[in-house]
Structure 1
Amino acid sequence: MHIAVVVSVFPTVSETFIVNQITALIDDGHTVRVYAKKKGSLDTIHNSILNYNLLEQSYTDIKRPHNKIKRVLLFFKLICLHLSEINWEVLLDSLNFFKYGKKAFTLTYFYRLQFFILHKKFDVVHVHFAPNALDIVNYKDVGFLNNLKLVVSFHGYDINPSQIDYYKIYYKKLFEYTDEITVNTAYTKDILLEVKPSLPHISILPVGLDTNLFQKKELPQLKKTDFNLVYCGRLVPFKGALLLPQILKELEARGVKSIALKIIGTGVLKEALIDEIKKFNLQHNITVLGAITQEEIKVIFRESDAFILPGIYDHLDGGRAENQGLVIQEAQAMKLPVIVSDVGGMKYGLIPNETGFVIKEKDIKGFADAIQKLIENPFLTQQMGEKGRDFVVKNYDSKILLQQLLVIYLR
């Protein structure tokens, strides 16, 4: 199949799950073009983007020149550059001034639809994050791209539970013109069904990872003095990072002091988190690493004993919570027991009491109990880690999820 993947920014350090999906499609023999609303930074690029030459397969719109002569010259230049791939049907439609009047004559629609004009017809257009699909559904509403199969994936920030009434209007055309909708967890699906209870084509399709790239290599057996705990995520309210110093302080009060926590990530709460660490005098136990690369994250995971993500419902942001949290599956793939809260969709991404623990929201003692249980039972830690990897390989590997995605594309 010839597939277009539409994103906000490309490349980007975050949203690696989209790259995972693209590379899985390519490995399966499909051609993929990436359409980004905005070019991302080239300072830090994931290896997969380079290995698969995805930068060469990405496209960002060229702005329509205000000057009429430059506009026409650029029009002919773009046509010549992409002559072998032109979608003549959309091109001729965009120039139909009898149908579209001035916007066709002034090449407005050509420049707006340039991605779909300058590339041969796509079998499927897959949009990640619903707002990125709004331009496309508006084109469909006007009369363009009528035969285009449109798949839209909701991931989290695009479906805040506090804005149900707003979304009923905002996504009205999207629901009308989208052929298939995917969501990452049952939690996201439930929110979406509050907006539109009668959605006919909605599928739960979690985001996945290449489990071959997330393996816990056997390290030399050195005598360990600390239990190594790791948090990885943005430092924003709904991730719950501000609870971490309280959890470690509770463990310290119980006499559990041989514990080291590494916090990976940055965000608006970084300074507040550092202040909390100082307040509880935990500078020797907690290290805030900031933003690091994927490869560096994997090194930290290999050195760790367990993963923690104590997410909360952020009531100052309309009750937003973690919708899936792919990092939970990444940690399990590297044989780390995971300790998460019961909010949002995190609980669907593990087997409670087998690959990790699901703790009630903000239950400091509950989190401390789970960590202490792992510290005191090394065999349980190892057993949970083994089961966690097996669970992720069978349910979240990109190749497994690819087969489910292709069913959706072909439906």
Structure 2
Amino acid sequence: MCQKSKILVIVTIFPSVTETFILNQITDLIDRGNDVTVFAYNKSNDSIIHQLFLDYNLEKRTITHFKNQKTKWLVCKEAFIFFRKYRKKIDFSKVFFLLNPFSIGINKKKIKVYYDLPVLLFKESFDVVHCHFGYNGKKIADAYQIGICKYPKAILSFHGSDLTPSKVELYKNLYKDVFKFFNAFTINSIYLQEVLLKINPQLKNYYLIPEGFKKQYLQPYLQVKKEESFFKIVYCGRLINWKGPDRALRFIKVMVDSGLMNLQLHIIGNGEMKQELLILASQLKIENYVVFHGAITQENVFKIMASSSVFLLPGIADKQTQRSEAQGLVLQEAQYFKLPVITSNVGGIKYGMIPNETGFLIESENEQEFVEKLIFLYKNPQLIEEMGKKGHEFVLTEFESKIIGDRLTNAYHDMIQ
């Protein structure tokens, strides 16, 4: 790939606290000399902004859609602001053509696509359009189909929510044009690869590229001292059913009841289960052993991880959707901070650790074994140190952003050739 390719990245929410892997990928592309523009459908409502976003001044590279407002009046207002802000970039001949009374039929389709993707009205062209999530790829495929997207190459990254196992039959129709118009696809684990190939068994132009972390943003926190007075367990993720935060509370209850007192569970993240979890902690009478942090900056997540003993992610496969963790970059970040991981054998988790060397991979329904392994590490601090060191070395060689960036660059290169 040319050193200075012009790349349009299309995402749903930017910047998103829970999608640091996209931030990592975008900044790696910039590090390699590429000119990156981000088109986002929504601006994050979170007050938390990761340092990475600020350091790379990504706000200046980001174009945010105007349509996702609460009222029609606000949509109109934001649309006016959008067109005024970007008036020098917009090719108004395309806008005037849409008003042609002799092309009403085809123009209706074009207006819908341009409304979804107003960045296509810009004079500026791009060498590559890189979509994140299948449903955004569908919009670009529609633009290619009616001839208003002229970008030479297109690549689509699936992440998990867009490859829900229970929806395979639906995706066969939904992604039909995506497979036709996109030049390459990426998935982050063998688990997602298997789902993708159920949708399109003939697909060949796909690349297995895990999510990665930027070492330079984690490295300073390695100096944070471990809290030796507590066995500190960390859960970090959205507070939703299939990630299993309620199970983590039950495990702590068993440990406390067995006489292990100098321990803490730190729960990082927000989600629909938060109030339920607060009530459960009270019912189990373990409030003094659990700290709920809510959504916090990436930097504060790293501080907590670096001072902890073990990382816990007891997820399940959702009964209705069959969805589970596709990769879980947070597991690799935890291993970077020399934490053994205790996690479920669901989804793509097993591909991001070394079972019995960098942590323990447990069948999700075996709650007793989760507790046993937690107690085992509690009683064997030397093993925590040994597993932590192996985990740190493992993720540095497999998941660091520069390594992941090389794989993406190779995919771009294959696509452009």
How high is the TM-score relative to the length of structure 1?
0.88
Match of 2:370, as an amino acid?
F
> Is the Cα contact below 8 Å between 1:246 and 1:364 reproduced in 2?
no
Which residue number corresponds to residue 216 of structure 2? 212
Partner residue in 2 for 1:386: 389
Kindly state the Cα deviation for residue 161 of structure 1 after the two structures are TM-superposed: 0.7
Quote how far apart the aligned CAs of 1:118 are.
Answer: 1.7
Counterparts of 1:344 and 1:80, CA distance in 2: 46
Q: How does 1:215-294 map to 2 (within 5 A)?
A: 215=219, 216-219=221-224, 224-294=228-298
2:301 is matched with which residue: 292, 297, 302? Answer: 297
TM-score under structure 2 normalisation?
0.87
Change (3 A) 1:272 1:138: same
1:335 and 2:338 equivalent? yes
| Secondary structure, aligned partner of 2:287 | coil
1:12 partnered with 2:22: no
SS of residue paired to 1:32: strand
Structure 2 match to 1:200: 204
The residue that corresponds to 1:308 in the other structure is: 312
3-state DSSP class of the match of 2:406?
helix
* C-alpha contact (below 8 Å) 1:239/1:322 kept by paired residues: yes
The one of 26, 31, 43 aligned to 2:35: 31
Counterparts in 2 of 1:104 and 1:314: CA distance versus 1, 3 Å: closer
Distance verdict in 2 for CA 1:80–1:281, change over 3 Å: closer
CA distance in 1, matches of 2:257, 2:83: 73
1:173 is matched with which residue? 177
Deviations 1:37-86 (A, max 9, x none): 123337322111121111111113456x99xxx9xx99996786127xx6
CA contact (8 A) 2:114 2:120 kept: no
Alpha carbons of structure 1 residues 256 and 135: separation in structure 2 relative to 1, 3 Å: same
* Residues 225 and 306, structure 2, Cα contact 8 Å, conserved in 1: no
Cα distance in 2 for partners of 1:16, 1:383 equals 28
Amino acid across the alignment from 2:300:
E
Matched residues in 1 for 2:167 and 2:118: separation? 33
- Asked if the contact 1:62/1:111 (under 8 Å) is kept, the reply is no
The alignment yields a C-alpha RMSD, in angstroms, of 2.9
Q: Distance in 2 between matches of 1:368 and 1:39?
A: 40
Match of 2:145 among 141, 144, 147: 141
- CA distance in 1 between counterparts of 2:60 and 2:402 reads 24
Tell me how far 1:346 sits from its aligned partner.
1.0
> Structure 1 residue aligned with 2:88, among 69, 77, 81?
81
The verdict on how the C-alpha distance between 1:106 and 1:403 changes in structure 2, with shifts beyond 3 A counting, is closer
Counterpart code for 1:18? I
Question: Closer, same or farther in 2 for the Cα pair 1:111/1:231, shift >3 Å?
Answer: closer
Tell me how far 1:106 sits from its aligned partner: 12
Q: Distance in 2 between matches of 1:230 and 1:138?
A: 43
Secondary structure of the 1:55 match is helix
CA distance in 2: counterparts of 1:35 and 1:298, whole angstroms: 28
Paired with 1:247 and 1:74, the residues of 2 have a C-alpha distance of 52
Structure 1 residue ranges without an equivalent (≥5): none
Contact 1:94-1:110 within 8 A present in 2 as well: no
Native 8 Å contact 1:104 1:110 kept in 2: no
CA contact (8 A) 1:97 1:105 kept: no
Aligned counterparts of 1:105 and 1:345: Cα–Cα separation in 2: 42
1:376 aligns to 2:379 (yes or no): yes
- What secondary structure sits across from 1:400 in the alignment? helix
1:11 and 1:41 in contact (8 A); partners too = no
Give identity over the alignment, percent: 37
Report the counterpart of residue 325 of structure 2 in structure 1. Answer: 322
Deviation at 1:279, TM superposition (A): 2.4
CA-CA distance at 1:20 after TM superposition: 0.6
Deviations 1:354-395 (A, max 9, x none): 111101103222111221222222121111111111111111
Amino acid at match of 2:394: F
Distance 1:207 1:290, change over 3 A: same
User: Hey, what's the Cα distance between the residues in 2 that align with 1:291 and 1:79?
Assistant: 33
* Secondary structure of residue in 1 paired with 2:266: strand
